Amino acid sequence: MNASRISTRLITPLSVICGILIWYALSKIPSVGAIITDPIRITKTLFAEAKAGSLWTNISASMLRVLGGFALGLVVAIPVAFVMGWYKNIRAVIEPWIQFFRTIPPIALIPLVIVSQGIGESAKIAVIFIATFLVMVISIFQGVRNVDPTLIKAARVLGATDRHIFFEVVVPASFPYILVGVRLGLASAWTTLVAAEMTGANKGLGNMIMEASLYFRMDLVIMGIFVIGVIGLAMDKGVLYLERRLTGWQELRKS
Amino acid sequence: MAGTAQIVTPGIAALEQPKIKIENLRKTYEVRSGEVIALNDANLDIMPNEFISVVGPSGCGKTTLLNIIAGLEQATSGRVEVDGKLVTGPGKDRGVVFQQYALFPWKTVIKNIEFGLKLRGYSKAERREKAEQYLEYVNLKDFAHAYPKELSGGMKQRVAIARAYAVQPEVLLMDEPFGALDAQTRAQLQEDLLKTWQTEKKTCFFITHDVEEAVILAQRVVIMSARPGRIKEIIDVDIPYPRDQTTKMDPKFIEIKNEIWAKVYKEYLEVQK
C-alpha cells in the first residue's frame, strides 16, 4: 500500500524527465534538430528573452487579453445560465442560439471581428469573450438544471420562498459547475488567444511565435509554445486548487 | 411520560377536532398512454399529536398522499385541511423528513438545522441556541461543524429530523425516513423518534414499507392498496407507550404485526398479478 503510493508519486516526475531526455535525443538527429531545438538552447533563449524584457511584455499582453475576455465571458455567462435554468420560456428563446454558435469554432469568427473591431485590443478580447462565454454558459446551465429536486422540496417545506430557493439552494448547488465552467472557459480563452494574436498584433505570445517563425528562430518558437503550455497548466492548477478549497463539501467518488 | 390522550379512543376523537382532515382526495397524472390514478378517494382524520403509520406496496400513493399534505403537490380533487384550514402549499405548521435525507451538502450540520430558523426570521443567537438544543436531542453535538458528507446515513437522517423539529412544526411528515438504513441503525432511530415524540408531542404521519416499524411507532396503521392507490384499512395499535425494542416481543405486538403483515402481503400479491 505504502510502497505503491510512493511509486505512484514518482511516476509523474519520471515521465517529465523521460520526456525531456527524449526531446534532447531527438534534437541531436540533424534533420530533426533543425526544427526541434534542444532543451538547453531553449532555456538559454528563455533567460535571454526574460532579461531583455520582451518576454514579459508578451506575456502580460496575452494575459490581459485572456483575463479580460474571460472575465467578461464569466460575468455575462453566470446570469444568462441562471436565467436559462430558472425560466423555461427564456431557455426556449436562448438555448437554440447558444447551441448553434457553440458548434462554430471561435477562430472562424475572427475575420468578422476584425472587420467590425479592427485589429486592436477590443477585437482580441471580443473573440475570447465569445469563446469563453459559450463554453461557460453551457456548463453553468447544466449545473442549474442538475440541482437535486429533493433539496428544493426540503427548502420549500422549511419555509423558503422562490427567492430563497434561488439564492440559498440553486446558486450554491451550481457552484461546482461554475468552477468547472471557469476551468473550461480559461482553457478555451487561452487556445483562442493564440489564434487571435496570429491574425495581427504587435505583441503577445502568439505574435511572438509568428514573428519568430518568419525569421526561422525555432528556439524562440518552441520557447513560446513552452511558455504558453506552462501558463495554461498553472492556470488550470489554480482553478483546481480553488475547486478543492471551495467545493470540498461535495460527495465525490474516490478513485 | 404523560399517559393521557396518547391513545385516541373513538369517544374522545368525536369531541376533538382532527389535526389533519383528508376528504375525498384524488390525484391523477397524465401520461402518454392515458391517465394514471395515483390516489383514489382517500379519507382520513388524524387527531392532534397522533402517530399514524402508512404501509402499502409501492405505487399505492403513499408518497403522493404525503406530498399533498405537505403542500408540495396539488390534489386533482378533494381537500386536505390542517386545523380546519385548506392546504394550498407548504406551511410552517408542517415539517417533512425525506428518505434521501435532503441535507444541504454545502452547509455544516448546525447550519442545516439553522436554515429553517433563519427563514423564519430568528436572530443569529437564537438560531444557534435552538439548533444546538435539537442537535443534542439527536446526540450529534460533536458533529455540529461537520459537513453532511462526513456523516453516516443514520447520522444524516438524525440531522434531518433535528432540522425538521427545530422549526417546531405541529405536524411531522416522514417519507420512509429509515428506509435506506441498516437494521441496527433503524432500531436505534425508531427509539430516538419515539423518545423525541414523547418529549415534544407532534402529529406524525410516517410512511414505511416495514410493517414492524409501522406497528412499533404508531397508534394507528393505515394500509393502502395499489392500482389505484387508496386507503384499504386502518388498524388500531392498542399498545401503551413508552415503547422500545422490547415491545417487539410483546404477544400483542406480534399479533397486530402479523395481522397487518398478512394484509399488506395480500396487497403486494395483487400488485404482482
Q: Using one digit for the tens of pLDDT, what is the confidence trace for B202-230?
A: 999 999 999 999 999 999 999 999 878 88
Return the residue of A nearest to B72 by Cα.
A153
Q: A178 to chain B, minimum CA–CA distance in Å?
A: 15
Q: Using one digit for the tens of pLDDT, what is the confidence trace for B13-34?
A: 456 789 999 999 999 988 888 8
Return the residue of A nearest to B165 by Cα.
A158
d(CA A123, CA A116): 8
**In chain A, what residues touch B102 (CB-CB under 8 Å)?**
148, 150-151, 153-154
Dig out the grid coordinates for B130 from the structure. Answer: 435552538
CB-CB contact of A169 with A155 (8 Å): yes
**pLDDT average, residue stretch B115-137:** 92
**In chain A, what residues touch B100 (CB-CB under 8 Å)?**
150
Is residue B5 over pLDDT 50?
no
**pLDDT average, residue stretch B53-64:** 90
Q: B251 to chain A, minimum CA–CA distance in Å?
A: 39
Residue A170: per-residue pLDDT: 92
Could you say which DSSP state residue B58 is in? T
Of A150, A160, A249, nearest to B100 by CB-CB distance is: A150
d(CA B13, CA B5): 10
Could you say which DSSP state residue B37 is in? E
Report the C-alpha dihedral over residues A196, A201, A203, A207, rounded to 10 degrees: 60
Q: List, by residue range, all CATH 3.40.50.300 domains of chain B.
A: 10-93+172-272
CB atoms A164 and B96 under 8 Å: no
CB atoms B98 and A150 under 8 Å: yes
Amino acid sitting at position B69:
I
ipTM confidence score: 0.85
CB atoms A153 and B102 under 8 Å: yes
10 Å Cβ neighbour count for B206? 27
Return the residue of A nearest to B94 by Cα.
A157
* Beta-bridge partners for B220: B52, B236
CB atoms A168 and B115 under 8 Å: yes
Q: Which of B13 and B242 is assigned the larger pLDDT?
A: B242
Residue A185: per-residue pLDDT: 94
pLDDT in tens, chain A (255 residues): 555 666 788 898 999 999 999 999 998 888 888 788 888 888 999 999 889 988 999 999 999 999 999 999 999 999 999 999 888 899 999 999 998 988 888 888 888 888 888 778 888 898 899 999 999 999 999 999 999 999 999 999 999 998 999 999 999 999 999 999 999 999 999 888 887 887 677 889 988 998 898 898 889 999 999 999 999 999 999 999 988 888 888 877 554
Of B98, B106, B167, nearest to A249 by CB-CB distance is: B106
Dig out the grid coordinates for A39 from the structure. Answer: 532543451
Question: Can you tell me which residue has the cell 422540496?
Answer: A153
d(CA B176, CA B205): 10
Residue B122 — pLDDT band, cuts 50, 70, 90? Answer: very high
Phi and psi torsions of B125, nearest 5°:
-65, -45
Question: Can you tell me which residue has the cell 375525498?
Answer: B24
Element (H, E) at A155: helix A149-157
d(CA B106, CA B56): 35
CA nearest to A154, candidates B86, B79, B163:
B163
Q: Using one digit for the tens of pLDDT, what is the confidence trace for A59-113?
A: 999 999 999 999 999 999 999 999 998 888 999 999 999 989 888 888 888 888 8
10 Å Cβ neighbour count for B9? 10
Q: Using one digit for the tens of pLDDT, what is the confidence trace for B79-114?
A: 999 999 999 999 889 999 998 999 999 999 999 999
CB atoms B94 and A173 under 8 Å: no
Report yes or no: B121 at the A interface, CB cutoff 8 Å.
Answer: no
d(CA A57, CA A14): 33
Q: How far is CA B3 from CA B17, B172, B200, B239, B249, in A?
A: 20, 21, 14, 12, 21
3-state SS class at A225: helix
Q: Using alpha carbons only, give the angle A172, A178, A183 rounded to the nearest 5 degrees.
A: 145
CA nearest to B41, candidates B26, B59, B63:
B26
Q: B104 to chain A, minimum CA–CA distance in Å?
A: 7
Amino acid sitting at position A234:
A
CB atoms B95 and A157 under 8 Å: yes
CB-CB contact of A140 with A181 (8 Å): yes
Size of interface A-B (CB pairs under 8 A): 60
Return the residue of B nearest to A253 by Cα.
B149
Report yes or no: B150 at the A interface, CB cutoff 8 Å.
Answer: no
Element (H, E) at B26: strand B20-31
Q: B180 to chain A, minimum CA–CA distance in Å?
A: 16
Instruction: Determine the topology of domain B10-93+172-272 in CATH.
Output: Rossmann fold (3.40.50)
Total residues found in chain A within this entry? 255
Predicted model pTM: 0.79
Return the residue of A nearest to B67 by Cα.
A153
**In chain B, what residues touch A152 (CB-CB under 8 Å)?**
none
d(CA B222, CA B260): 9
